[in-house]
Structures are given as C-alpha cells and as structure tokens.
C-alpha cells in the first residue's frame, strides 16, 4: 500500500505547497556567487537552470553539478531573452518555483567620468534584469500557488560608496523593488528576499587589492562566494521570512 507520511514537516508542506520549491532558476549562475548558490542547491537535490550570457561557461558549470541540470544563454537586460529562457525552462525542467537573481555587472568610476552608456548597462542588467526575471517567475509561481525569490543586492546599495554611484543606485533600486514585490505577492505564497554582500572573492573583485581594504572590514578579510550562498539558501528555505535584507559583509556595515 501507499505510505502516507504524517509529520509536522509534511503537514507544513501540504499547507504551504510553495515551500516545496525544488526547481530553481539561477541567473548569473555560471560564475561567482551564483555558481556557489548552484553548488549548494545541487547538493540539496534541487534541479537547476544555470543562466548567463556565455553559454559555454554556463554549460561547464552545469555539467560539474551532475546530471539533470540545464544551462541556458540569456541577457537579463533583454525581455525577449528572458521570455525565451522561461519557456525553455518550463519545457525542460517543468515549472520554476524558485528564483535567484545573481546576474550583475559594475562599471566603477566617478560620476563625472561615467558615460551614459555605462549608466544604462548597469541599470539594465542589475535592476531592469531582475524586474524582468521576477515578472516571468511570479506569473508561473502564482499558478503553482507559491515560490521563493532571492535577489542579490549589495552593501553599497544600502550605504553608498564613492566611485560606485550608479552601481549603488541600481542595487538600492532593488531594495524598493524587492520589498514592494514581497508585499504584492505574499498572499500568493510567494516570498521575496534580498542578500546584500560586502566584498566577495569573485571575478568582479579580482582587480581589488584585498590587503589594503581589509582594514575597513571588521572580520579582516573578503568573503567567499560559498559564505554568501549559505545566506541565499537560508532565505529560499525559510517559509516565514519575506521582504528581508540579509547583509553578509564581514561587518562592513558597522563601520560604513
Ligand atoms: P561575477 O562577475 O563573478 O559573475 C556575474 C555572473 O552574472 C556571471 O554568471 C555572468 O555571466 C552573469 N551576468 C552578467 N551580466 C549578465 C547579463 N546581462 N545577463 C545574464 N547574466 C549576466 O560576479 P559576482 O558573482 O561577484 O556577482 C554576483 C552578484 O553579486 C552581482 O549582482 C553583484 O553585483 C553582486 N555583488 C557582488 C559582490 C562582490 O564583492 N563580488 C558584492 C556585492 C554584490 P556572463 O558574463 O556569461 O553573462
């Protein structure tokens, strides 16, 4: 006969079906923080879509995770790309009930030296891109009666940083967006949270001199992508947390 598990955990899952999120789209999942999230979720048995502009790199990352994961090429700043990506995921993995937005770029520099084109590319990738993926994901999560979203912001979006005004604006925009969306979709059992990292060892920070900067970080070092991934997974799997910003910055915000 059929074994019916009746535990507090299975009863909670039955009541909150969206919390069974196990199919996750990771934009920016090919490298850095997104890749670390992918590794942790793969270990936990999630089926993943690894999404980035460079398909070759995304495919290599997906292959290393084991069987059953999908790699897709998409520029999050392009609506048609995002639409195609969600259709492709639906066909190959089924409905997505979990979304991580880790795709992001920076074009650091003083405002007076920043070209309009570089302002737009940061806003389009970091802010508009997340809006587009969230819109597509929410549509599908409403049908599934639940889901979880984590957007990657930045401590710079909360505190500001000289030489990063436009990048900071794009990340601060994500704060208002994530908190508003959290309110908008809570009744649909969809949760929206944000992780705001400090300095993390990835390609994005490879040019920075860690030695000179660690004085300003209470924990005295840059973070590892896996240390950020832990926080992302915590928020994905915390059924009663929404609209939260989890700062993972080695204490940077204490001094900033
Ligand atoms: P990386 O540069 O290491 O990785 C960025 C990822 O995003 C890659 O997978 C890249 O793939 C993808 N990506 C970039 N642009 C696009 C695009 N237009 N469409 C789709 N995918 C894109 O960056 P990090 O891992 O360091 O950063 C991840 C997120 O964390 C970013 O949002 C960043 O702003 C944020 N962050 C990072 C911090 C750090 O210290 N590293 C600190 C605070 C926040 P591809 O190039 O192939 O498209």
ipTM value for the complex = 0.99
Handedness of CA 8, 13, 19, 22 (dihedral sign): positive
Tokens of residue 213, six digits? 């900067």
CATH class belonging to 18-255: alpha beta
Nearest CA to ligand 1 atom 8: 28
- Predicted confidence at residue 212, as pLDDT, reads 86
Name the region of 69 (left: φ>0; alpha: ψ -120 to 50; beta: rest): beta
Ligand 1 atom with the smallest distance to the CA of 106 is 34
Q: Any residues with CB less than 8 A from the CB of 103 and at least 6 apart, and which? A: 27, 28, 34, 51, 52, 76, 125, 126, 129, 130
Nearest CA to ligand 1 atom 36: 154
Binding-site residues, ligand 1, Cβ < 6 A: 27-28, 30-34, 52-54, 57, 74-77, 102-105, 125-126, 152, 154, 197, 199-200, 202-205
Which runs of consecutive H residues, i.e. helices, occur in the chain?
8-15, 32-43, 55-65, 79-93, 116-122, 129-143, 155-159, 165-185, 210-213, 225-236, 252-255
Each residue's pLDDT tens digit, 69-97: 999 999 999 999 999 999 999 999 999 99
Name the pLDDT band for 117 (thresholds 50, 70, 90): very high
Q: What is the pTM of this model?
A: 0.93
Are 52 and 25 spatial neighbours (Cβ–Cβ below 8 Å)?
Answer: no
Name the pLDDT band for 204 (thresholds 50, 70, 90): very high
What is the overall mean pLDDT for the chain? 93
- Predicted confidence at residue 15, as pLDDT, reads 53
pLDDT mean over 88-112: 97
Ligand 1 atom with the smallest distance to the CA of 33 is 25
- Predicted confidence at residue 113, as pLDDT, reads 98
Residue 66 in this model has a pLDDT that exceeds 50: yes
pLDDT mean over 164-181: 98
Are 239 and 12 spatial neighbours (Cβ–Cβ below 8 Å)?
Answer: yes
Name the pLDDT band for 2 (thresholds 50, 70, 90): very low
Q: SS3 breakdown of the chain: % helix, strand, coil, rounded to 5?
A: 55, 15, 30
Residue 106 in this model has a pLDDT that exceeds 70: yes
C-beta atoms surrounding 184 within 10 Å: 12
- Predicted confidence at residue 85, as pLDDT, reads 98
In angstroms, the Cα distances linking 29 to 34, 110, 231 are: 4, 29, 16
Helix axes 225-236, 32-43, angle to 10 degrees: 60
Residue 10 in this model has a pLDDT that exceeds 60: no
Alpha-carbon distance 160 to 171, whole Å?
A: 10
Ligand 1 atom with the smallest distance to the CA of 32 is 25
CA of residue 67 to ligand 1 center, whole Å:
24
- Predicted confidence at residue 251, as pLDDT, reads 97
């Amino acid at each position: 006969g059929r074994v019916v598990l009746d535990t507090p955990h299975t009863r909670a899952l039955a009541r909150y079906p969206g919390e069974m999120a196990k199919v996750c789209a990771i934009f920016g999942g090919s490298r850095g923080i997104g890749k670390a999230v992918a590794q942790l979720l793969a270990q936990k048995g999630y089926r993943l879509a690894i999404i980035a502009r460079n398909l070759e790199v995304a495919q290599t990352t997906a292959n290393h995770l084991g069987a059953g994961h999908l790699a897709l090429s998409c520029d999050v700043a392009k609506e048609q790309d995002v639409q195609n990506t969600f259709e492709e995921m639906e066909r190959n993995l089924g409905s997505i009930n979990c979304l991580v937005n880790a795709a992001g770029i920076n074009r650091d520099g003083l405002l007076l030296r920043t070209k309009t084109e570089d302002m737009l590319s940061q806003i389009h990738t970091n802010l508009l891109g997340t809006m587009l993926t969230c819109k597509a994901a929410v549509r599908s999560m409403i049908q599934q009666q639940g889901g979880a979203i984590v957007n990657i912001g930045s401590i710079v979006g909360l505190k500001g940083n000289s030489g990063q005004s436009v990048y900071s604006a794009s990340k601060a925009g994500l704060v208002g967006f994530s908190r508003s969306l959290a309110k908008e979709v809570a009744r649909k059992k969809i949760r929206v949270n944000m992780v705001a990292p400090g300095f993390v060892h990835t390609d994005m920070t490879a040019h920075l001199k860690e030695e000179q900067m660690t004085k300003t970080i209470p924990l005295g070092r840059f973070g590892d992508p896996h240390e950020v991934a832990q926080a992302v997974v915590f928020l994905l799997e915390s059924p009663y947390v929404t609209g939260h910003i989890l700062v993972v910055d080695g204490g940077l915000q204490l001094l900033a």
